[in-house]
Structure 1
């Protein structure tokens, strides 16, 4: 690499702030925008959510090319373009009046995510940080607060400015994030010609045949299926069990704090915890938690056990996806590898909410859903065990 390079402190503050703002402006406010957009524009909820799904698909499709670009050229132009485009797309969203334009905006947001948010940001950290695992863990502390900060903030903006004005305010905040990105990347190293060539030494099709890559792909795809499925259905699933609304909301809200505690323990463990051991713990907790959700629907104690197991697993897996991939597969061609892993997880991530809804509708309730998630969690554990096996 050529150039001075970024310190771990600069990476923590720069990436934590830009990722917090990026996710908080682009994705966190979306559920709050649906109702006022329905009321003003007369669009159906299905149409609005279909555009959002197209954005997720575009992000998955763009992930692998973005990773290859990073390996060859570094993050400079790409991340800057992504953050600037994100601000412009938020302004365009605030002015939208036609469904076709709305779909195009969300496809653009998906591409902006792929070139400017988590995957590429973590590739920068892996390339620059002296202690990548520790740096990623600290960044994840901050980004774990995205919903806590931006949900109430966005709701306040909508009440104060309307949904269009709120999006314009969020666009201004994203513009500030773009400035931070430009200033931060001035000091990032650029791939030396020899290292850029080395990024292509192992073709991606060769990676796809490696057992460790296949194991990580299976694990991360299964985890993505569970995460998006529960994100869409956890609250109605818990409501179906007949508990008071306050209990349901408390159980759902416990996910974030438990994630933060898990990451804090990992930070305290330092170098004593390898990503292989952390990944095995996290992936092992997934089927345990889903089984606790499945076996006794009326048991509050087992449901609390599910919440804790899933939150700890989810919190740790965020770090494992970034640092664990580097530990298991190496740093050579890291951008292309992580991009391919994201692309493989795209279909499970986007299909899960619809598939669980169809299961609920076809069987007249959520009784079968936890059992399906238990089986998928078992696949996550199997996949990571394949990847972590010494070779």
Structure 2
């Protein structure tokens, strides 16, 4: 991993990294900031508002496999471009919404935009085109790690200055940029006629292996925690009574801490294995959630939660891309990663609404960190099981 990325991968890294930074910022990271002003204006409950993201995550997960197959067979240039522009159009539609059914319909369609514009098809393009996919993915994550750092303060400022409707129009304009980058920087799509088949790979058999089951459990737990915190971290911290400026800083530090962890991994290079990195990352998750539950409402104490969670989250992104091959092997890699993506659909879909229901039922977010700590411990155990299977 030493050295800079191959020159031929730099255009690819720039295109995918900037596209993902903007896409995740506008289509996901900014979402929770719109909850309070929309609920105040339109009278919706927190659960009704978060149901939009839940619907999008469900449809995005179901559409991920067809989108990946499209990239495998036809390339991803136009898919990424059209997905980005579709997301921009839906942000414009969201800015005009006034009824709950229309809002849910928009976010249902947003799931298709996420499935075609965000991580899975983008990584399929990288794997297909990069000379060194692992190094390229690591380079991309250096940039995308700053998503929250850029878009949380930016969106908060836009809402404060322009109101939530006009803020969405500005984000829509930004979301049009990844489509232009895809058409400008990616090579033309070419249908692939040399699709490999008949290799004897049995996905069903692979899915019954303890290593696969362990990885599935670890990634499902991580997906629930990540999506749940993505939707609820800001209102949870607000409930603690922290100043708004402190909350924005804490959430924004997630990106730099992610990048610092990835930089350390990049520096260590081949001196570490993905199994070891995964063990460390998955173990940091329950530590972070315990810190969130136990810490007093003070910036310095909650900084420990942000540090541990950001490091775990940043490293697990790379483990998911490179660790699967190390633990399960490279045969049938695309089918296996597609199956692992499918496993995370339900946790990703349920997390925002379940946490909202728990907070409403308990009269606050008090029980939520303990639920997440338990899931984090379960995920760490599952990953340890998967890594041990490979080590034998």
Structure 2: how far apart are the matches of 1:279 and 1:42? 43
CA positional deviation for 1:293: 5.0
Change (3 A) 1:326 1:315: same
Structure 1 position 203, deviation (Å): 4.8
**1:128, distance to aligned residue in structure 2 (A):** 2.5
Change (3 A) 1:54 1:201: farther
Task: Determine the structure 1 residue equivalent to 2:3.
Answer: none
Number of corresponding residues: 384
Contact persistence 1:71–1:334 (CA under 8 A)? no
- Quickly say closer, same or farther: Cα 1:39–1:317, change in 2 above 3 A: same
User: CA separation in 2, counterparts of 1:172 and 1:229?
Assistant: 27
Q: Is the 8 A contact 1:64 1:337 kept in 2?
A: no
How many angstroms apart in 1 are the aligned matches of 2:243 and 2:15?
42
**Equivalent residue, structure 1, for 2:83:** 82
Match of residue 310 from structure 1: 309
Is the Cα contact below 8 Å between 2:51 and 2:352 reproduced in 1? Answer: no
Question: Do the aligned residues in 2 keep the contact of 1:6 with 1:188 (CA within 8 Å)?
Answer: no
Shift in Å at residue 298 of structure 1?
5.2
CA distance in 2, matches of 1:238, 1:154: 18
Corresponding residue number in structure 2 for 1:64:
65
> Which runs of 5 or more structure 2 residues have no equivalent in the other structure?
1-5
The CA distance in 2 between the partners of 1:299 and 1:33, in whole Å, is 24
1:184 is aligned to 185
Alignment gaps of 5+ in structure 1: none
Q: Could you tell me which residue of structure 2 aligns to residue 51 of structure 1?
A: 52
CA distance in 2: counterparts of 1:290 and 1:167, whole angstroms = 32
* Distance in 2, Cα, partners of 1:113 & 1:280: 29
Give SS of 2:176's match.
helix
Q: Is the 8 A contact 1:53 1:350 kept in 2?
A: yes
Alignment of 1:154-165 (within 5 A): 154-158=155-159, 161-165=162-166
| 1:116 aligned residue | 117
CA deviations 1:82-114 (Å, max 9, x no partner) are: 223222222332333443332222111111111
The more displaced of 336-345 and 257-266 is 336-345
Alpha-carbon deviation of 1:341?
Answer: 1.8
RMSD: 3.4
Give the structure 2 partner of residue 208 of structure 1. 207
Using the TM superposition, give the Cα deviation of residue 269 of structure 1 relative to its aligned residue in structure 2, in angstroms: 1.6
Verify: 1:328 aligned to 2:327, yes or no: yes
Aligned pairs (5 A) from 1:282-301: 282-293=281-292, 297=295
Q: CA deviation at 1:144?
A: 1.5
Q: Where do 1:357-372 residues align within 5 Å?
A: 357-360=356-359, 368-372=367-371
1:228/1:328 CA distance change after superposition, 3 Å: same
1:311 match: secondary structure: helix
Matches within 5 A, 1:91-240: 91-158=92-159, 161-186=162-187, 191-195=192-196, 197=197, 202-234=201-233
Q: Does the Cα contact within 8 Å between 2:22 and 2:175 map onto a contact in 1?
A: yes
TM-score (norm 2): 0.83
The equivalent residue for 2:377 is 378
- Local SS of the residue matching 2:113: helix
Q: Name the CA distance, whole Å, in 2 between partners of 1:243 and 1:99.
A: 31
